A and B are shown apart, each in its own frame.
Chain A
Amino acid sequence: MKAATKAGKKKNLLTPTTFSLLHATDFADRLLYKIIPPLKAGMIVLADRYTYTAFARDVARGVDRQWVRDLYGFAARPDLALYFRVPIETSLERLLARRVKLKFYEAGMDMGWSRDVNESFRMFQGKVLDEYDRLVEEFGLEVIDATGGIPDQQRRVRKLVARELERTNG
């Protein structure tokens, strides 16, 4: 599964819909093998990105909002979803400071909005953030202000997780 996604990305072969479907396939695979079994065993699954990433990213690319939500209809709804929010300039600064070369799809270069990769990133991620704002409302994501220091963020995360565990175990 990974192989097709990687090959497709390398050759920049993907359309918004095949991009979305390939990620959904990969997600289905992870869900069935890596997420559901530990859930059944009563374990806590920490997921670095879940379906919400797809909802924001794929809609920013132009796929239908309801279609992609229904596409992931097979996924288990998380007990707690945390959204680490930063303004675009901050995320761009952080990526550039780490001398990370922005990836083609991450910067939304496939959309052909700008030939300048930083500018394309700004435009594309701007749309992604707009979608996330919508998701916060729709799915009740807990927003963490990720512009602050990591200890502050972690304190808040631990508080939210502890509250959730208390709620479900108590």
Chain B
Amino acid sequence: MVSEPREAQVTDRVQPGHFYGAGLPYVGLEHYPGKIIAIEGTDGVGRSTQIRLLREWLEVQGYGVIETGWTRSVLMQPTIDMAKASNTLNKLTFVLLYATDFADRLEEEIIPALKAGFIVLADRYIFTALARARVRGVDRAWLRNLYGFAIAPHLVFYLKLDVDALIKRVLQSGGMDFWESGMDLKLGDDIYESFRTYQAKLLREYNSLGEEFGFRTLDARQSVDRIQKNLRNQIGAFLGANERPASG
């Protein structure tokens, strides 16, 4: 095996339910019964639809479910919205704002839910933030340390779409916006070209994150039903295996 030692270190996967790094020393993580299931992917891949369907399915089976989504924290959402609107923050402060939002949701929503044995459906976990930051040239080792307080999810599904399919979906729905087009990177004045270049870079980062963190990749061009069926199969198998105590 010829691989760079740094890469090898990065590929050492953290056990689900454990902290990625330094963690939250003042919070004990003693085998919480809950599970974190994350759905990742760029805009327009149908994450929220899939999560809504998963929630119904899980609740019918008697699971307690909470949803958590990017920049939805009580603490940070107004600030992040304002920062986006005014377009004044640089990449570093943006990365830190997102991390603060995540930390707030982790401690106030996710950890209490895990303690209570809930399934946490995360509409994007830390990976989208990592992908966006990496595309913007933020140091990888620094980012990993920053998110060292995060808990590794039990399952991460990545709804993958190629740039061509993604562009059509985004244009059919809301259209291209400033941030999703990476206009802050000043790749060019043409929003279409900027979107294309930026999203292609993002997809490359998702792929590399997928290898690092063990994403389960699903083809997002498939129908909603087909994707949902696949998700349910995999989640069902995972939850079933966890409910039965290992024998022998």
Contact = CB atoms under 8 A, between A and B. Distances in A.
B82 A67 contact: no
Interface string A20-53: 0110110011001000000000000000000000
Interface stretch (B92-100, B159-167, B189-197): B92-100
Interface stretch (A69-77, A81-89, A113-121, A135-143): A69-77
B103 interface: yes
Chain A contact residues, majority secondary structure: helix
Contact of A67 (B22, B26, B78): B22
B79 A32 contact: no
Chain B contact residues, majority secondary structure: helix
Chain A contact patch, size range: 20 to 34
Interface stretch (A58-66, A95-103, A160-168): A58-66
Nearest to B138: A74
Contact of B76 (A4, A17, A28, A61): A4
B100 A15 contact: no
Nearest to B144: A70
A13 interface: yes
Contact of B79 (A4, A63, A70, A73): A4
Interface string B9-33: 0000000000001111110000000
A32 B25 contact: no
A15 B139 CA distance: 26
A67 B21 contact: yes
Given A15-B104, A18-B107, A21-B99, A71 B146 contact: yes
B70 to A, nearest CB: 16
A24 B75 CA distance: 16
Contact of B90 (A7, A8, A32, A70): A32
A3 B99 contact: no
Given A15-B104, A15-B107, A62-B26, A67 B92 contact: no
Contacts of A29: 89-90, 93
B145 A70 contact: yes
Contact of B145 (A8, A15, A28, A67): A67
